[in-house]
Amino acid sequence: MKPDGSNFSSFSVNNNLGGAKSLSNRIVSTLTKESLTDVVIGLESTSIYGDNFVCFLLEDGFLAPFHPKIHVLNPKQVKKFKEAYPDLPKNDSVDAYIIADALRFGRIKNEVYLDDYHYKALQTLTRSRFFAVQNLTKEKQRFMNYLFMKCSSLVQEKVFSNTFDATALSVYEDFSSPDEFAYMDLNDLTAFIQEKGKNHFPDPEGLAKSIQAAARGSYRLPKTVNNSVNQVLSLSISSMKAIEKQIKSLDFVIAEQLAIIPNTLTSINGQASLAKYAGLAWTQSIWIF
């Protein structure tokens, strides 16, 4: 679209490197032909599918002399602006026209902020961590459902303060049915708890008694069903450990990225007291969120 609002041309390109180069060449050719010095480019946000294109435009040396300004618009912005054109159909060509006209009016001020790609890298990592935590939460919920089938009272009475610590997982996985630890020698079960808990429990014998009481009060499954539940629980434990390992790895690389980026919240002496006065709070490792 020309500065006066007239439609210069409408065309399509593939969303790949060749298509981006073709678009760049066409833009540069048009700007040169029309003796224009600046270009504003807009696109509707489409999750990750526009990121490569935006990076290409920012790095494109052919566009650089024309001071390109790049805007990624929220689809709601495009929809609202389009309401001023009630007779237009819904298709990609019309949407492109609407975006161009919105930019021409100058009502969209904020450009894409990708001057420092570390922010994009941090976004990618933190989103990956977010989804990993979501997956871990879902896996734990699924695990608890099957654990109830195997040993219902152990879940209901919350014998372990942490259902997913190493000792608890060992009890769930190493004993094939509640009967195995419900009636085993108390000293043997206590020794098992001490070994798996690395002597961290203040009263291992009391915990052993609670486990046995919960096992005796639990439902019993038919052998075939019980075996299938054990297999699912074992696989679920493996999945949880794998996801936790992923999160730990992401924590490490996120910390590396944060160390590169100036962070006001962690670089001002006394910032915690100031934040508390302002009604803000965060943990020491703020990036965990």
- Between CA 250 and CA 136 the distance in angstroms is 14
Q: pLDDT tens for residues 216-251? A: 999 999 999 999 999 999 999 999 999 999 999 999
Beta pairing, strands 40-44 & 69-73: parallel
Mean pLDDT across the chain: 85
Among residues 172, 168, 236, which one has the least CA distance to residue 197?
168
Give the Cβ contact number of residue 283 at 10 Å: 8
- Between CA 127 and CA 207 the distance in angstroms is 39
- The predicted pLDDT at position 288 comes to 40
| Close Cβ partners of 140 (under 8 Å, ≥ 6 residues apart) | 164, 240
pTM assigned to the model: 0.72
**Could you give phi then psi for residue 242, rounded to 5 degrees?**
-65, -45
Structure tokens at 192: 């098992």
Query: Quick one: DSSP state of residue 158?
Result: T
Q: pLDDT tens for residues 137-147? A: 999 999 999 99
Local confidence band at 264 (pLDDT 50, 70, 90 cut-offs)? low
Contact 143, 250 (CB under 8 A): no
Q: Which of 87-101, 105-119, 237-251 has the lowest mean pLDDT?
A: 105-119
Structure tokens at 39: 């270009």
Q: Residue 284: helix, strand or coil by DSSP?
A: coil
